[in-house]
Structure 1
Amino acid sequence: MKRAKWVLLAGAAMTIAAGAARADDLAGLKAEIEALQNRVSQLEAQPQASMPSGYSLLSIRDGQGTYEGVLAERNADKVRETSGFTLSVLPTADAAPVAEVSVSGEIRTALIYTNTDVSFASLDDSEDNLDVAVRGRIFIKGKVDTAVGEVGGYFRLQASGGGNFTDYSESAVMNKAYGWWKFAPNWELMAGYNDNTAALQVGWDWVAATGPVKSFGPSNINNEQFRLTYGSGPLSFAISVEDPDSANVDDDDETPNTDVSDLPALEAYAMYSTDAFTVQIAGLVEDDAVGDSLNWALGGGATVGISDGFRITAAGVLGEGTNQYANNLSWTGPDADFWAASLGILANLSEDTRIELGVGYEDYDSEIDLGGTALGFGGGIYWDPVSQVTVGVGATYVESESDEVSIGDEEDNIEIDTLEIFFGTWLRFP
C-alpha cells in the first residue's frame, strides 16, 4: 500500500513539471510571434518601390516576347525566339494585358576572301583580298495594350565595316525603325522605316542568303512608309504609300539622287502562308517625273516544304524604271526595262546543321542608259551547336556584264566577275 502511494505521488510531480515546461514553451512562442509582428509592421511602414498605375509585378525572362505586330524579316536578319531577354509588366486582375520590352544583340564576324576580275577592251585587271568584316546589332522591340488597341515599336541599331573596302565604323545607325497600331481585329497600321512593302518574301535573297557575301536575283530596299495590313489565318494583304525611287541622274537641272516624283509610290502584296507553303504576289507603281512613263513592277513566287527540313523557294519580278529590286546591278535610269529571278534550296543535314544553295539572274535594259546582266550562284553550310552560336562557311560567284559603253577612245562591254569565300561566326546575346 505504501509503495502504491509513492508511485502516485511521483506521477503527480512529473505531470506538474511537464505542465510548467509547456507553459514556458507557449510563453516563448508568444514572444516570437509578437517580435515577428513588430518586424512586419516596420516593413509595411517603409517606402515601397512605385509601379506604373494599374500594374503589380515586373518580371524578367530569357528569349523574346510575343510580338505579332513585328513584320516579317529576311532570314539573314531574323531575331531568334531564344535570343535576348524580355521585361514584362504584369497587370493586376482588373488591368489590361501584359506590356513587354525585348532586348537582344548579335555580333557577326567573317573572314572573307575576295577575287575580282575586271575586263574592258584592253584592260584586264584582277585583284585579291583577304580581310575581316564585322557587323554588330542591337534589337529593341516592345508593345503595350491600350484602350484603342495594341501599340508597339521596333528598332535596330547597327555598326559595321571591314572587308575589302572599309574599316569598322564605331558609329551606330538606326537602320530600321517603325511602330505599329492594331486598331481593329485583323487590321494593323505600320509607320516608319522598314523593308519596302512590295519586297518578295520568297526566293533566295529573302529566305536564304545567310552568309555575309553577295546575294543574287531580285532584292529589295528599306523605305519610309505608311503600311496598312490585313491578316486572317494564313491569308494576308498589305498596301502602302512609300518614299519614291531616287533618280540617280542629273536631269533638267535636278541634282543626282533626287526623287523621281513629287508623289509617293504605291506598293502592295497578297500572301497565303502556312508552315509548309507560302505563295505571294507583289507589285508597285509610281509616277516618274524624270522618265516618260510610270515606273512599275510585278513579281511573285513561292516557298514549298517538300519534306521535314527540306524547302525549295523561287521568285521572279519584272518591271520598268524602278530600282527597288536591284541587287548586283545599279539603277540604269528612267524607263529601263528589267527582270530578275532566283531559286534556292534549303536542307537540314542534321538537327543542328543546314545547307543553302541557290542561283539568280538579273537583266536591265535601257535605250539611253547603261544596262546589263548579272548571273550569280553560291551557298553555304551552317552549324548551330547552341541557339546563341552559328558557325558558317560558303561562297558566292557573281558574273556581271554591262551593255556596250564608251570610255575615252575605247568602246566595249565591261565585265566584272567576283568570287567571295567566307568563314563566319554569329554570336547572340545575352
Structure 2
Amino acid sequence: MRTKGLGQSLLAGIALTAMASAGHADELAALKAQLEQLQARVDQLEAQPSLPVVSEGTSWITFRRGTEATADWRVGRLRDDIPTTGGMTISITPTADLPAPVHEVTVAGYVKGDVIYDFDEDLGDFFSYTAITGRENQEHVRLHARQTRFNIKSKSDTAIGQIRTVIEGDFLSGGSFGNTDFRLRYAWGEWDFMPNWTFGAGRYDTNFMSPFTGTTTVDFNGDVGLIGTSRTDQVRVTYTTGPMLFALAVENPLGDAGDLIDQGGEAFVAAFNSSNNVPNFTARWQYDAPGGHQFLVSGVVQNYHTDSELGGESESAVGWGVQGAVNINLADVALLTTSVMYGDGIGSFLFGNTIGAYVDIDGDIHTTEALGLYAGISFELTDATSLNLSWGYADMKKSEVLRANANNTTIDVMSAHANILWQPVEQLRLGWEVMWADRKFLEVDGPVSDIEKADVWRAQFGAWFYF
C-alpha cells in the first residue's frame, strides 16, 4: 500500500511539471512575437527621413531673401513694380510635419532721391499741371526723397480659401507742395471665397483704372489723359477665368472732395452744401491675349448732390465715364500702350481735369464733359536699359468751363515725357527724364475772366534704391 501511494505521488508531480513547462513555453512564444513586432516598428521608423526638432505648440518660421511668394499679386500700375529679388519673405507653417507654408509675409520697398530743375516756374515735387500759371523766368531747383515707399504684403492659405493683404505708404502728403508726413496708399484685403471669385475691401486702386496702361516715368505723376484718382476706399467682387477678368466695385464718392464746385467761387462746395449720399459704382473687363497683348474696358457712375440742410436746395446730378485701353507687344522689343477716356461728370478720374460738376447761381448742378487721350511706347535697348516716350491730352468742354467760371479751371492740357532708365542690378535703378506741358486755363479775377495759356519744361534725375 505504501508503494502504491508513492507511485501515485510521483505520477502527479510529473504531470504538474509537464503542465508548468507547457505554460512557460507559451509565454516565451508570446514574448518573442512582441519583440518581433517592436523590431519591425523600429526598422520602419529608421527608414523614414529625420524631422527637425520643433517644440510642441510652436510654429516653424523661415526667413528668406526676395518677395516671389506674393509676386503674382500686382499692386498699383505696371510701372510701379518692385523687383521680386529684393525685400524679405517670412514663411510660417503650423506643425513640425512641415507642409507647404500656409502663411507668408513679404516686406519690400525703396528709397528714391530726386533732383529737379524747372526751366520756367516751380511746379513742386512732382509735375503739377494746375501749378502751370504762366509765371515766366522763375527757374527753380529742388531735391527731395518724398517718393520713398514701404510695402508689406501677405498670403494665407486657409480652409475657406486664400486670403491676401497689402499695406503700402510713402511720404507725398499734401500734394506736390506738401510735407513729408507718412501717407497711406494701400490698406487692402482679398479673399478667394469660391473658385474664380474674389472679395476685396479697403483702400485700393479704383476699379475704373487700367492697371497696365502707361510707361515708367521718373516723374511721380506721369502724363495727363490717364487715371487721376487712382486709389480709393471700396468694396469689390472679381471673377477671373483663364485670361479674362470682370470686376464690380462700390467706391467712396468724390463730389464733396473737390469734384463739385460752386459757380464763380474759389472754394469747394464742401464748405457749403455738398453732400455725398450715394457711392460710386465701377465695372471693369480685362483680357490678357496670347503674345503679351492686353485689352480693357471700364466704366464709372457717380452722383453729385447738395443738401438743403446744409444751405441752399437739395439737388442731384449723375456723372459717368468710360475707358478703353490696349497694350500691344511689338515682338518683345517694344511695348505700345494706349487709352481713351471720355465722360460727362467724370471729374478727377481723368488726370488733367479740374472739375466734374458745378452749381450755378440758381442752385442747379451741371456736369461737365471731358476727354482724355494717352499713348506711350517703351523700348528695351539692352537687358539693363530702356527708352520710354509718352504723350497725353485732356480736354474739357470750353463752354461749360466758362459757365462754371471757377478760377484756375483747366480747359485743355497736353503733356509729354521722355526718359532713359538704367538698372544694372535689381537693387538699383537710375533715370534721366525731360518733360513738357502746355496748358490753357480760365483765370478769374473778380468780375473779369480771361483764358490764359502757358507751357513749361522740366528736367529730372531720379535714383531708386530697392531694399
Verify the 8 A CA contact 1:88 1:101 in the aligned structure 2: yes
Which stretch shows the higher mean deviation, 128-137 or 285-294?
Answer: 285-294
* Cα contact 1:117–1:417 (8 A) shared by 2: no
Deviates more, 1:268-277 or 1:72-81: 72-81
Q: What is aligned with 1:200?
A: 210
Give the Cα separation in 1 of the matches to 2:174 and 2:356. 28
Report the equivalent of 1:44: none
Q: 1:228 aligns with which of 208, 225, 237?
A: 237
1:338 aligns with 2:349: no
Is 1:98–2:106 an aligned residue pair? no
Task: Say if 1:65 and 1:100, in contact at 8 Å, map to a contact too.
Answer: no
Structure 2 counterpart of 1:296: 320
When residues 185 and 117 of structure 1 are mapped into structure 2, their CA distance, relative to the original with a 3 A threshold, is: same
| Aligned equivalents of 2:166, 2:272: Cα separation in 1 | 28
The aligned length equals: 372
Is residue 266 of structure 1 aligned with residue 274 of structure 2?
no
AA partner of residue 336 (structure 2):
I
Gaps spanning 5+ residues in structure 2: where?
1-52, 123-133, 307-314, 359-366
Partner of residue 154, structure 2: 142
SS at match of 1:66: helix
Secondary structure of the corresponding residue to residue 227 of structure 1: strand
Match in the other structure for 1:364: 396
Aligned partner of residue 343 in structure 1, secondary structure: strand
3-state secondary structure, aligned to 2:294: strand
Aligned position for 1:245: 254
Paired residues of 2:292 and 2:329 also in contact (CA < 8 A) = yes
Distance 1:363 1:257 in 2: 28
2:199 is the alignment partner of 1:189: yes
Task: Answer yes or no: is 1:326 the counterpart of 2:350.
Answer: yes
Structure whose alpha-carbon radius of gyration is higher = 2
Could you tell me how far apart the structure 1 residues matched to 2:272 and 2:432 are?
Answer: 36
Alpha-carbon spacing, 1:160–1:265, altered in 2? closer, same or farther (3 Å)? closer
* Shift in CA distance, 242/257, structure 1 to aligned 2, threshold 3 Å: farther
Whether contact under 8 Å (1:287, 1:294) holds in the other structure is: yes
In 2, the alpha carbon distance for the partners of 1:242 and 1:188 equals: 16
Pair 1:101–1:257, CA change in 2 (3 A): farther
Structure 1, gaps ≥5 residues long: 1-46
Q: Alpha-carbon deviation of 1:332? A: 5.0
Aligned to 1:423: 461
Find the aligned partners of 2:347 and 2:275 in 1 and give their Cα distance. 11
CA contact (8 A) 2:152 2:167 kept: yes
Render the CA deviation track for 1:79-111: whole Å, top value 9, x for unaligned: 221120101113545967521000112011110
Relative to structure 1, the CA distance from residue 202 to residue 157 in structure 2 (aligned partners, 3 Å threshold; closer, same or farther) is: closer
Deviation of the 1:416 alpha carbon: 3.3
Instruction: Give the counterpart letter for 1:107 in structure 2.
Output: V
Q: Report the CA distance shift for 1:50/1:401 in structure 2 as closer, same or farther (over 3 A).
A: farther
C-alpha change, 1:324 and 1:238, in structure 2 (3 Å) is farther
CA distance in 2 between partners of 1:146 and 1:344 (Å):
41
Kindly provide the CA deviation profile for residues 383-409 of structure 1, in whole angstroms up to 9, marking residues without a partner as x: 011000001101111111014x44146
Q: Secondary structure at the residue paired with 1:126?
A: coil
> 1:242 & 1:67 partners in 2: Cα distance?
25
**1:70 aligns to what?**
73
Q: In structure 2, do the counterparts of structure 1 residues 327 and 400 end up closer, same or farther at CA, with 3 Å as the change threshold? A: same
Specify the code of the residue in structure 2 equivalent to 1:331.
I
Distance 1:107 1:124, change over 3 A: closer
Q: Percent identity?
A: 23
The residue identity in structure 2 corresponding to 1:132 is L
Structure (1/2) with the larger strand percentage? 1
Distance of 1:276 and 1:250 partners within structure 2: 42
Indicate the residue corresponding to 1:20 in structure 2: none
Code of the aligned partner of 1:269: R
- Counting only pairs closer than 5 Å after superposition, residues 43-192 of structure 1 correspond to structure 2 as 52=58, 55=59, 57-67=60-70, 70-92=73-95, 93=97, 97-116=101-120, 125-134=136-145, 135-160=147-172, 165-166=177-178, 169=180, 171-192=181-202
User: What TM-score comes out, normalization by structure 1 length?
Assistant: 0.78
Name the CA distance, whole Å, in 2 between partners of 1:147 and 1:178.
Answer: 21
